[in-house]
Amino acid sequence: MASRKPPRSGVRAARASDGAPAAAPREAITVGSVGIRRHAPRLKVTLFTGVVLGLLALVGFAGWREASRGVPTASARPSLPAPRPAPSPAEEAYAHSLWPIHNEVKAAALKMTFGGLNYKLHEIDRAGFRDRVESARAVYRRAAARIELLAPPASLVGLHDEYVQAVRLYQEAAGEMVRVLDDGKEDHLATAFPKSQEAGTKLLRVGQVLWPGEYVPN
């Protein structure tokens, strides 16, 4: 039998030597590229490994994202200003003693302001105006007397003086306001107003130190 050249790439051996169709040798089967069958298992493994690695990378990334975001817990707090130093027992006692006086002064200041406001708006008459302002003056007098009896610690002397000045300013404002009843001139309300404002600023300043929780977000 004559020797046969090995089949060219892409050419299947048509017949076996006895004429029957021959199964093409695996090595000989190509479809436009060389040796796919031989390399097919390796390619599948590579692809599979790549997919698995990709998924693992995705899971790892997701886990890192979760960890870096930080799950809120009961103990997690946003960054807030450093807490104030705790007051000394003497400072606490002073703040505790001044608090009820402060509440009365504050309420009186508000009522006095409403007296002026409602008088200006003609919502109340002269008698109603007098009642409001005079009752506020009485509160300021009593407060001034009680504050004089307080003994602030050395660290709070400045604050104490500021509070005393606030009450005095409120007294002066009230005194100016009632002059409206003497001459009927509403200008006295405008003259009294800056004293009331300054007193309110002092109350706030003292309150910020002694009672930091006095005003909350509204």
Partner 1 sequence: MRYLVRGLTLVVLAALTVSLAVPTAPAQSSVPEYSVWLVRSSVFKGVPAGAFMPDRAFIPGSTNPMNSQVFFDLPVNVGVIKSPDGKEIILYDTGWKQQDYLKMTGSINWAPLPDQLALLGIKADDVTKIVIGHGHWDHAGQLSDFPNAVLYVQREELRGIEWALSYPFPAIKAVNTDKGGCNRTPACGYPPLTLDQIYGKVLAGKAMIVDGMMEVLPGVIIHPAHRAHTAGSQLLEVNTAVGKLVFGSDAYSSWEGIRDWMTANVQQTDTVQQFLAYEKCYKITGGYQNCVSAHEPLSYSDKYPLTKNWWVGPNDSRLAEIALAPGEKTRKP
Residues near partner 1 (CB under 8 A): 72-74, 76-81, 95, 99, 103, 106-107, 109-111, 113-114, 116-118, 120-121, 189-190, 193, 196-197, 199-201, 203-205, 207-208, 211-218
Angstrom distance (rounded) from CA 1 to CA 16 = 12
Nearer residue to partner 1 within complex by CB, 30 or 191: 191
- Closest by CA to 115, choosing from 142, 139, 136, 101, is 136
- Closest by CA to 25, choosing from 46, 4, 1, 2, is 4
Question: Minimum Å distance from CB 212 to partner 1?
Answer: 5
Question: Minimum Å distance from CB 69 to partner 1?
Answer: 12
Question: Minimum Å distance from CB 202 to partner 1?
Answer: 10
Question: Minimum Å distance from CB 90 to partner 1?
Answer: 17
Angstrom distance (rounded) from CA 105 to CA 111 = 10
Hey, is 16 helix, strand or coil? coil
CB 184 within 8 A of CB 101: no
Nearer residue to partner 1 within complex by CB, 13 or 99: 99
Nearer residue to partner 1 within complex by CB, 13 or 90: 90
